[in-house]
Amino acid sequence: MTIFVTGGAGYIGSHTCVELLQNGHNVVVYDNLSNSSVEALKRVETITGKLITFIIGDIRDESSLTQAMQGCDAVIHFAGLKAVGESVAKPLEYYDNNVQGTLCLLRSMQTNSIKTLVFSSSATVYGDPESLPLREDHPLRTTNPYGQTKLVIEDILRDLYRSDNTWQIMILRYFNPVGAHESGLIGEDPQDIPNNLMPFIAQVAIGRRENLNIFGENYPTHDGTGVRDYIHVVDLAHGHLKALEALTSPQCTAINLGTGIGYSVLDVVNAFSKASQQSIPYIIAPRREGDIAACYADPSKANTAIGWSAKRNLDQMCHDAWNFQSKNPTGYK
């Protein structure tokens, strides 16, 4: 199949392109490079020995998008802005990019009679969990504009399927993607100060930052620091392949992609320190606004619905994140 990948130059998109190419699919990447580099795609070609068709464009440019996806069989939609804090400061930008962009994408798909879609959602749609582990039928609500864009898009997809039940839609709710490809060629390359824990720790380990701020030590968790379900990005990428392969009949299905295991900030610091053989100096800082104590998945639906489960553990995640960071101390630059 030929897969149209929006946001394919980004962190999760580039790893998914590797999976797709290595499993015999052709890939057309459509990305405006607002948070990524074309270098990532060159490296995907190096890893796989296959070529990617790359089109620079914005998903809100509907005519360019409609033309670009001609001849494709299915779409994986990663393109979007993803920084929670920035979304609070720039809500209009987030709604425009993520929601308006997705509306353009869905219309372009209709124009091209392409009705198979895998969409990047997030565990953020569960808000502050009422119960753990999180199942897909947990009530949906969010606490910030970024999360709201994901929820609105999920609702749009459910409404679209209700209006035309020939669509084949998989909504993937990611937990906390971390790590990098085992080659050390592609990985996470934040443009500014990292918001997320693992890339921040990696930059402390390499000496780009002095110390980590641990946001809160008095949560009701096993050591007082926040607990999350970290998932290796290569496992996550594989989940997209399995989701695509499972889309052989009309549906609109939401699935968690997580490991089911919660690790605390201190667990991650210790595992990273062991994997990198570097010390990770940290300071205990106040809680970060909007953070929740704990969040981890019940991943069993992914196993039954698409035959997927995560294979890589926290040590592997830290090892591969460090491998990428140490081979690319300034990222793709």
The answer to whether the bond into 145 is cis (omega within 30° of 0) is no
- Name the residue nearer to ligand UFG (CB basis): 72 or 314: 314
- Residue 78's CB: how many other CB atoms inside 10 A? 25
Binding-site residue total for ligand NAD (CB under 6 A)? Answer: 27
**Binding positions for ligand NAD, 65-84, rule CB under 6 A:** 78-82
Q: What share of the chain is helix, strand, coil (3-state, %, to 5)?
A: 40, 20, 40
Select from 17, 19, 25, 31 the one that contacts ligand NAD (CB under 6 A).
Answer: 31
Strands (E), the chain: 2-6, 26-31, 53-56, 74-77, 116-122, 168-174, 176-178, 212-215, 227-228, 230-232, 251-257, 263-264, 282-285, 294-295
The Cα 267–Cα 262 span in angstroms is 10
- Name the residue nearer to ligand UFG (CB basis): 168 or 235: 235
Q: Which residue has the tokens 């100096």?
A: 281
Which member of 146, 161, 219, 230 is catalytic? 146
Minimum CB–partner distance for residue 61 and ligand NAD (Å): 8
Candidates 69, 266, 249; CA nearest to 169 is 249
**Binding positions for ligand NAD, 176-205, rule CB under 6 A:** 177
Q: Which residues contact ligand UFG by CB under 6 A?
A: 82, 84, 122-124, 147, 175-176, 195-197, 200, 212-215, 226, 228, 265, 288, 291
Select from 5, 10, 272, 331 the one that contacts ligand NAD (CB under 6 A).
Answer: 10
Query: Which residue is nearest to ligand NAD, using beta carbons?
Result: 10
Candidates 58-66, 129-137, 237-245, 284-292: pick the segment binding ligand NAD (CB under 6 A): 58-66
Q: Catalytic: 146? A: yes
Could you give the residue ranges of the DSSP H alpha helices within 95-185? 101-111, 145-163
- Name the residue nearer to ligand UFG (CB basis): 78 or 175: 175
Minimum CB–partner distance for residue 192 and ligand UFG (Å): 13
Which residues are bridge partners to 245 per DSSP?
none
Q: Is the dihedral of CA 89, 86, 239, 225 positive or negative?
A: negative
Footprint on this chain of ligand NAD (rule: CB under 6 A): 6-7, 9-13, 31-36, 58-60, 78-82, 97, 101, 120, 122, 174, 177
The set of catalytic residues is: 146
